[in-house]
Structure 1
Amino acid sequence: MKKLLVALLLVGLLSVSMAQKWPAQLRFVSGPSGGTWFALGGTLAGMWSETVIPMTSGTGGGTANILTISRAQADIGLTTLSVFNAAVKGIDPFKEPVKGTVLFANLYRQYAYFIMRKDYATKNGIKTLGDVIKKKLPIRFATLTPGTASEFVIRLLFEKGYGVSWSDIKSWGGRVEFASYTDGANLLCDNHLDMFAFQISRVASVIMDIESRIEVVILPVDDEAIQKLAEYLGTTKFFIEPGIYKSVTQPVQTVGDYTCLVIRQDLPEDLVYKLAEALWNRKEQIAKAFTDMAELNPREAISEGVPAHPGAVNFWSKQK
């Protein structure tokens, strides 16, 4: 009996010891100040502070957040699945495979939009993005600034999917610029651009703003290019469905990605489980402020082929 009591005492002490391994607080890294990710990061950090563990939130970026977490300078943060795949594989801009950062959850879908002035598309007989490359048009083109997930995916789609670089477009007499969502939209509407491309969620006010000012077409991405990028970067194929944008009257296929959360690999499994549980329980509340969060679901939360935290895998697998 004495041995049993000692064993139970040791188990109890071990449990206390394990609980004490939780850090005093966690650090969340989001996006640039004023952006959607920055606001979402503050909301998530506040929610987790109320329900699980104290958490601070600060600025960041899709690429930087992965590295910051891997160096234990932050604990959880936002990025995209494509950028995280690149980090795991050590694909540029990462010098080598990144260790110590793993997937927590895919939050919502990201779509690559190639928005072209309708007058330009009609004049040049453009039906798909591939037509621009085949015709080697001297196109005035813009995407978001280098270092963003948008520029990363759009550039690699051209390079790996179509075998074309920014330099090639310039050699045709075209122009490649980098702009914010607002500046790019204005340049397109003022006829200083022929096409503006970026990656964003399913419902995007910037696209609605463009459509309210000029007639545009949203170009489909060719199957072969989507497949080549998927093999290289782990992206997928999504369809931009009718009903959101007036320029879309039938499904438009494009490159699919996810906004996701990544987390420190060495955080306790029970802590990460609790974080996932709290996120799922507060999903509807968060989605009132961030509509795209309504897309969070267990079936898509964890992607195959990338390292994920066992605490997160454990939770999401139980919800399917």
Structure 2
Amino acid sequence: MKGGEKMSIRFKIKACSLIIVVLLVSIFSISVFSAQQYDLLVMSSVIGGIGFQYSSGVARVLGVVLPDARVTMEATSGYIDNAKRLYAGFGDLGIVSHDTAREVYLNEGAFGGKGTSLLTIAPIHILYWNLVVNEDSPIKTIWDLEGKRVNLQPKGSSAESTAAKLFEALKINIIPSYYRHTEAAEGMRTGAIDSHWQGGSNPTWMEYSVRKPVRVIEFSDEDVAKIRKELPFLSKVSFPAGDYYEGSGNVQVVGTWALLMCRENLEEDVVYEITKGMYEHKDLMLAAHPGAADMGLDKVLDCTVPYHPGAIKYYQENGVQIPSELIP
């Protein structure tokens, strides 16, 4: 074989080897890219509070259905704070109260600027707004709270905002405090506060009621009518107080939905998997808080804020017809 032919053969072998290496590198790169992790930041709530428990359930669902996602929970002061942070471009998803979600959608109040649009993924739970007092308290109705010390939870939370609006609507003058659940329970025990306002219940108050019996103040039909005249986003609901407090039954209070929402540009396939996971892994939500029993495909149309396309895809696949006003 001549020298030139040998060089030609060696060149062809090297060229083929180079092509194979390039192909292997390309295949490896595609494989690595397809399994590449990404971050999801969940706005939660006050640590130890009801919203934090539900948000923990959401994070657990994400961990199951999105194995490539690095899920981080960020503590906030509540559902209103979640909306403000998401609107400002911080985070990917979080639970927001229905009335606040409406404000974001309609660009009202604190959401009148040019922020990030938010879309709904799923109704998560009903906020059963209720007032707890000690069983032996002389306070029987909401009107008995005139001049009394009522804890509304931290400023900026959905609890504080809703309570302030409610007492203003009823023209009831209270002495407000803004303690977290643990401090509020201690205040009730020592007599520093007369009542505590919350959206459901949480372990702090369940434990408290074991040591010292409590009672939930019932709202009459007349009370609810007066409240709804000024605050139509609140509805009459039956709070299953017996699920949380020994010896209690169902109590009539007011409530509104809390919605899992996300930034509008979150990828459709990601939102689809999240939506699917919320229903198929509802047990994880129930483990976080029993109030997740409120969730269901039959509740989807209770929402009045448009859904994300990824969520719409899942709902339509499962027989829920989304009306045009809920399609962005």
With the length of structure 1 as denominator, give the TM-score of the two structures.
0.73
Partner of 1:147: 156
Query: What SS does the corresponding residue of 2:192 show, helix, strand or coil?
Result: coil
Question: Which 5+ residue runs of structure 2 have no aligned equivalent?
Answer: 1-33, 321-328
Question: Which 5+ residue runs of structure 1 have no aligned equivalent?
Answer: 1-19, 170-174
Contact preservation (8 Å) 2:105, 2:117? no
One-letter amino acid of the counterpart of residue 145, structure 1: P
Partner of 2:91: 74
Distance 1:110 1:283, change over 3 A: same
Contact preservation (8 Å) 2:96, 2:259? yes
Query: What SS does the corresponding residue of 1:243 show, helix, strand or coil?
Result: helix
Separation (CA, whole Å) in 1 of partners of 2:225 and 2:121: 26
Counterpart among 38, 41, 49 of residue 27 in structure 1: 41
Deviations 1:94-133 (A, max 9, x none): 5569650122111122211211234442xxxx5421x326
User: Is 1:138 aligned with 2:147?
Assistant: yes
- For residues 242-281 of structure 1, the aligned pairs below 5 Å read 243-244=242-243, 245-246=245-246, 248-249=248-249, 251-281=250-280
Partner of 2:189: 189
Separation (CA, whole Å) in 2 of partners of 1:233 and 1:187: 32
Separation (CA, whole Å) in 1 of partners of 2:192 and 2:110: 30
Distance 1:267 1:224, change over 3 A: farther
Deviations 1:211-266 (A, max 9, x none): 333343311124344345546352322112363323534x3211112332111122
With the length of structure 2 as denominator, give the TM-score of the two structures.
0.72
Aligned length: 280
Distance 1:114 1:247, change over 3 A: farther
Instruction: Tell me the CA shift for residue 163 of structure 1.
Output: 3.1
Partner of 1:295: 294
Partner of 1:128: 141
Partner of 1:6: none
Partner of 2:237: 238
Separation (CA, whole Å) in 1 of partners of 2:289 and 2:136: 34
User: Is 1:62 aligned with 2:71?
Assistant: no
Q: Percent identity?
A: 20
Separation (CA, whole Å) in 2 of partners of 1:97 and 1:81: 20
Separation (CA, whole Å) in 1 of partners of 2:223 and 2:137: 22
User: Is 1:213 aligned with 2:204?
Assistant: no
Distance 1:258 1:266, change over 3 A: same
Counterpart among 119, 123, 132 of residue 102 in structure 1: 119
Instruction: Tell me the CA shift for residue 270 of structure 1.
Output: 3.8
User: Is 1:198 aligned with 2:195?
Assistant: no
